[in-house]
């Protein structure tokens, strides 16, 4: 049994001088090609989605979870026991600052329209059409990295940080955004996301999520660095295919980019994607 311990003031002060602060974080949206195309059709530049959207998150949450349990009575005399049955992941709500061009609002409206396109076969708007898109098209990974202000000064920036990745996230609810003549404030909007589960870098997964797609044909190279090689009489390059969405390697319908040719950011901006066999996706 633990007993109280006497601490010196210096010991207590040293512990509380190293507590984490709540205002150092960054959010990343690992959007797929379909979400980017939906945004692009509404006039939103892909660079905004890749680089700027996460910076507009003014309030975020580190996720929580709970267990649904089952009650067992009578196994032990006079004791009622409860055991976890399955895990329940809480929804997360992010608050966004709205930019002067309203790209944040437009992006989430385009995402909602991708989930439920209100159009008929001729492409005209028809609210009577009840159609929902296949989940692989509108779900993506969202991650939040929590760090301290001295995170970038050490030799290993990730050592004193924690990163949560929401797997297969999608905007469940875009809250109404009030406007008023009574005062001038920064326009904000709240978006609630649902997801399948979350992972924690270095806790529930051993390494940062940088999975490389498993090869499906003989022309794929999953090595750490792309290496040009000779193939037969002609000169060719082994393709290094990496999934756009982290952790998605080996999943059917995953969109990849060729790291020999482009970086991930360039591939997203230029919409240069390939399938698991290295064939271009237009």
What pLDDT does residue 27 have? 93
Quickly count: other Cβ atoms within 10 Å of residue 252's Cβ: 7
Class of domain 20-72+79-207: mainly beta
What pLDDT does residue 118 have? 79
What pLDDT does residue 215 have? 35
Which stretches of the chain drop beneath a pLDDT of 50? 208-235, 247-251
Parallel/antiparallel/unpaired status of strands 140-146 and 273-274: unpaired
Output phi, psi for 257, to 5 deg: -135, 155
What does the DSSP assignment read for 107-129?
Answer: HHHHHHHHHS--B-TTS-B-TT-
What pLDDT does residue 210 have? 42
- SS3 (DSSP) at 138: helix
What pLDDT does residue 86 have? 92
What pLDDT does residue 211 have? 39
* Calpha distance 210→202 (Å, rounded): 13
With a threshold of 0.75, does the pTM exceed it? no
Q: Which helix (H) or strand (E) holds 104?
A: helix 103-115
The DSSP 8-state label assigned to residue 53 in this structure reads G
Task: Read off the pLDDT of residues 128-175 as tens digits, 9 standing for 90 and up.
Answer: 667 888 999 999 999 999 988 777 766 665 567 889 999 999 999 999
Domain ranges within the chain, ordered by starting residue? 20-72+79-207, 210-282
What pLDDT does residue 268 have? 67
What pLDDT does residue 213 have? 38
């Amino acid at each position: 049994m633990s007993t109280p311990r006497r601490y010196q003031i210096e010991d207590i002060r040293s512990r509380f001088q190293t507590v984490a602060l709540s205002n150092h974080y960054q959010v990343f949206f690992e959007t797929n090609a379909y979400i980017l195309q939906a945004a692009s059709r509404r006039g939103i530049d892909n660079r905004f989605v890749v680089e700027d959207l996460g910076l507009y998150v003014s309030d975020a949450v580190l996720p929580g979870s709970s267990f649904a349990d089952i009650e067992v009575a009578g196994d032990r005399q006079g004791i009622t026991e409860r055991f976890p049955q399955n895990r329940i992941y809480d929804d997360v709500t992010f608050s966004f600052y709205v930019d002067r061009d309203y790209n944040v609002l437009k992006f989430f409206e385009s995402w909602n329209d991708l989930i439920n396109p209100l159009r008929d076969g001729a492409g005209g708007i028809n609210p009577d059409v009840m159609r929902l898109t296949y989940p692989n098209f509108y779900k993506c990974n969202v991650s939040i990295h929590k760090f301290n202000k001295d995170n970038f000064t050490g030799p290993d920036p990730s050592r004193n940080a924690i990163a949560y990745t929401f797997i297969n996230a999608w905007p469940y609810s875009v809250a109404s955004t009030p406007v008023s003549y009574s005062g001038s404030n920064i326009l904000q909007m709240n978006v609630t996301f649902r997801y399948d589960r979350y992972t924690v870098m270095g806790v529930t997964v051993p390494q940062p999520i940088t999975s490389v797609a498993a090869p499906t044909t003989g022309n794929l190279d999953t090595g750490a660095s792309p290496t040009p090689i000779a193939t037969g009489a002609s000169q060719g390059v082994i393709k290094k295919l990496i999934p756009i969405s982290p952790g998605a390697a080996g999943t059917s319908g995953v969109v990849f980019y060729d790291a020999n040719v482009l970086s991930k950011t360039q591939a997203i901006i230029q919409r240069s994607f390939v399938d698991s066999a290295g064939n271009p996706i237009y």
